[in-house]
Homo-oligomer: A and B are copies of this chain.
């Protein structure tokens, strides 16, 4: 385990909510992402967007996922979290459009933590991440399951 890690599975507290991130959504980035990965006309052109239910140019929902991941990884690095990767995502919902000029942030609640029986060197955590814009409107939410290394893999199981 790398010496850079400071926060391990044992340090995570079920029920705690962390707030982090400040991601300014840039118009060029919205268009570049859409051109590469989600080339619907309403993500590329103001005119097409005006005629869509979004009303004006908005980010691909997958771009919002990517921007959120960036905020999550920056937070993991800041905390020195011993993350071993993500296993999956559930209940991903796009609740409101994300527009160029918006500033996004994340609230992350730790819903559940449990040690892995098959891999005692790690634990599984489940978080609900909600992404808000600068008006404190929730624009996206999802549940994520992550794998976190233990500081002391030899510790006995508690149950």
Contact = CB atoms under 8 A, between A and B. Distances in A.
Chief secondary structure at chain A's binding surface:
mixed
Interface of A: 33, 36-40, 53, 60-63, 65-67, 69-70, 73-74, 77, 83-94
Contacts of A37: 66-67, 69-70, 73
Contacts of A84: 53
B90 A94 contact: no
Contacts of A85: 53
Contact of A92 (B53, B60, B74, B92): B92
Contact of A88 (B53, B77, B87, B91): B91
A28 to B, nearest CB: 12
A39 B38 CA distance: 22
15 contacts: A36-B66, A37-B69, A38-B69, A38-B73, A40-B73, A61-B86, A62-B62, A62-B66, A65-B65, A66-B66, A86-B94, A88-B91, A88-B93, A89-B92, A90-B90
A62 B53 contact: no
Contact of A70 (B36, B83, B92): B36
Given A70-B37, A94-B88, A62 B61 contact: no
A84 B41 CA distance: 12
Contacts of A62: 62, 65-66, 69
A61 B87 CA distance: 9
Contacts of A86: 61, 94
Given A65-B65, A85-B53, A39 B70 contact: yes
